[in-house]
Chains A and B, each alone.
Chain A
Amino acid sequence: MSHELIGFLMLALMLAVIFLGFPISFTLIILAVGFGYWGLGGMVFDLMVMQTYGIMKEEVLAAVPLFILMGHITEEAGLMERLFRAFQHLFASLRGSLYIGTILTATIFAMATGIVGAAVTVLGIMAGQIMIQSRYNARLSAGAITAGGTLGILIPPSVMLVVMGPVLNVSVVKLYAGAFGPGLLLALLYIGYCLFRCLLNPELGPALPPEQRLASKSAVLFELLVGFVPLAVLISGTLGSILFGLATPTEASGIGCLGALILSLCHRRLTVAGLKSAALRTMQTSSMILFLALASNIFGAVFGRLGSAGVMTQTLLGLELSPMLMLILIMVLVFVLGWPFEWPAIVLLFLPILIPVVATLKVDMVWFGILTAVNLQTAYMSPPVAMSAYYLKSVVPDWDLATIFKGMAEFMILQIIGLLIVIFFPPIATWLPSLVK
């Protein structure tokens, strides 16, 4: 059997085996090693180890445990709950106020970090419980958190855009500028959708009962001040230091933890037991995320080494489609790849293969990059490798995965609508970059 065919067989079997319920990261590693051995021989073992070390050297990824730790410490200090309470009271008379709060916070978070795992985890920890207590619809809640959390990969600072720049050979500054418009557009679509659903069916997101609302406007403002200000300082410190070039995301995540520790100390919530438990929970979540990243890198490397990826390019070029049709076909392909793969594999492995095809389209590469980025945001939400869902599930065990998946599917449709809007109204993505020198 040809190597390429072995690769496609591995892909097909992965989609099947993963449903047996064995931990995904080990399933990916085992399949990659097995099929890799079949196609490539003993070298696959060395490939596995080198991919492992490759992930272990990624200084950028050190921000993953740190942003999670920041979330856990602020959680132990009860800060996030206060922020939510503030938002809850601010929009109390509105149906679906928690959805607005979640997505607004997610958008703010997206401007502070580019790490989806941390965003979804923190949102899950702080919003999930309150949504359950407030009898919010689980499906819509899970969708709002997972979709909102993935905004972080699109809205700058974004690790994905940073990785994509050199691959597409376009300036990351321009990609950053290009991503703001579509990112905010998606946030608006999410909020609009939630409000619309609640308008039709108040059960989905009940307004706060009048007796639970704060009596006076000043009380609401106070709550907002107490809940929002410390966090705003923390987040704008993290975001600000990144945006103004004062610190790298990794450094900022470290400083964010320090800030959270100090805030927690001020609230007299800092204990040795609390620190130990925060560290342990941080490690478990990070280990789950990063070990899966490692596994999907191994899987992707074997797929690439088998040559299955190259076959895809040749097939595409052989189709001889019009540029618009080819663009849409590429977008569909990226979308489909997003189901089994995470963005690093797609950006680093498949995008280079598609570049010769894209080059023949003669389109603005910044625009293409942004379309790809909006598209890849769905990769976090498409099962079986739907990291956004898994991050959420790991912090809100009360929601089962099927519910989370269904919730995400609704937002994925919004995502596709957003993608179509950017395809047919390119200035949303290209206007800001044109201002950048």
Chain B
Amino acid sequence: ARAQAPIVWKMQTVWPAGLAFHRNAEGLAKRIEEMAGGRLKIDVVPAGTVVGAFDVLEAVHKGLVDCAHGWSAYWVGKQPALNFFTSASGGPFGMDNLDYVSWLFYGGGYELYRELYQDVLKMKVHVIPTLVLNTEPLGWFKKPFKTVADLKGAKFRASGLTAEIYKEFGMTVIAMPAGEILPALERGVIDGAEFYSPYLDKELGFQDVAKYYYAPGMHRSTGTLELLVNKEKWDKLPADLKAIVDIASRENLLRGWLEISVQDVQALEELKTKSGVNVMETPREVLIEILKAWDKVHAGYEAKDPFFAKVSKSMKEFSRQIVPFRRDFQASYDICANYYWPKK
């Protein structure tokens, strides 16, 4: 029998071409093609090729592209609960990345994720979580600071409901896609910025403009990137290819996370030694203030938005069980870290 013509999908990411997240999307596409024996090919293009980074969700919904590699907080204005799928502050409610992924796949999170896109927003998209994230550093600043009060009046780049959190500190927050952050920092549209991790932040070039790099942060303790597929395209896919896309995404979730985590170590060393970046420890008080601000912000949205309250409840229920358990049974990172590698 004659071989069938391969299915070809156009994918746009929300990242610039030079960024590790974009390469991750290309890696995912390659893996899917290999596993599918060439029956499904995905042509990956960077943000801005078809539409801007923040319009990617609508582009998938309308079928301008067949799929996307994205980050749900970019369209948080459509529905505040989108923020939960790029995690939330406080870990979220204390969860680390393992707990968070457990909530997604075994705690009802993924069902809510799909419900949000398909039923609440009526978007013709099928969502698949595709990369798990580490705790994001607080970010890059042009001047050092000590307390929350020092941050008052700063204009800062962050995405999603992080804006509302920092509003409590008297900061002004502007969301902008990865490719626009450095130019905005240089133009002075913003005074400071966060993106993801040493490796990616270095690729974006923050070290050329800001020399104070504060870690850890508490505004995004973990989270996931997402694969968005146009619903009609997804439904038409044969069952075995659907399974392949699912499995490849799950594998990418782990592989992409590990690859970037390893690169981060080397990148931070280079930032310190070659670029003269001052890596600063975020004052503990600031981290606690972020949690307090988040409590205010999410309480406000829970009162206003039933679906937000629903997701928040699910996440809290799950956290209530898993976080105390992990705290009591998982040896604290500090113990061994300080035993073998005491701080200098």
Contact = CB atoms under 8 A, between A and B. Distances in A.
A234 to B, nearest CB: 19
A251 B10 CA distance: 38
B58 interface: yes
Interface residues of A, number: 42
Contacts of A50: 51-52, 55, 58-59, 62, 64
A47 B61 CA distance: 12
Contacts of A436: 208
Nearest to B53: A54
Contacts of A54: 51-52, 55
Contacts of B43: 307, 310
B94 interface: no
B188 A246 contact: yes
B49 interface: yes
Given A50-B64, A301-B50, A301-B51, A165 B188 contact: no
Nearest to B191: A245
Contact of B64 (A53, A246, A305): A305
Interface in A44-75: 46-47, 50-51, 53-54, 57, 59-60
Interface string A164-199: 011111111110000000000000000000000000
Interface string B44-79: 011011111011001100111000000000000000
Contacts of A348: 48-49
Contacts of A171: 182, 205, 208
A170 to B, nearest CB: 7
A173 B17 contact: no
Identify whether the interface residues of A are mostly helix, strand, loop, or mixed: helix
A45 to B, nearest CB: 9
Contacts of B45: 304, 352
Contacts of A242: 187-188
Contact of B17 (A60, A162, A167): A167
Interface residues of B, number: 35
A51 B183 contact: no
A217 interface: no
A246 B62 CA distance: 42
A355 B22 CA distance: 14
Given A57-B52, A167-B18, A169-B18, A248 B275 contact: no
Contact of B188 (A47, A59, A247, A301): A247
Interface in A291-317: 301, 304-305, 307, 310
Interface of A: 43, 46-47, 50-51, 53-54, 57, 59-60, 157, 162-163, 165-174, 242, 245-251, 301, 304-305, 307, 310, 348-349, 352, 355, 436-437
Given A174-B208, A249-B187, A437-B275, 10 more contacts: A54-B52, A59-B189, A170-B205, A172-B182, A242-B188, A248-B188, A301-B50, A305-B50, A305-B64, A310-B43
17 contacts: A46-B58, A46-B63, A50-B58, A57-B52, A162-B183, A162-B186, A163-B183, A166-B16, A166-B180, A167-B17, A172-B208, A173-B209, A174-B208, A248-B187, A249-B187, A251-B188, A305-B50
Nearest 7 interchain pairs by C-beta:
A169-B18, A162-B183, A171-B208, A46-B62, A166-B179, A54-B52, A352-B17
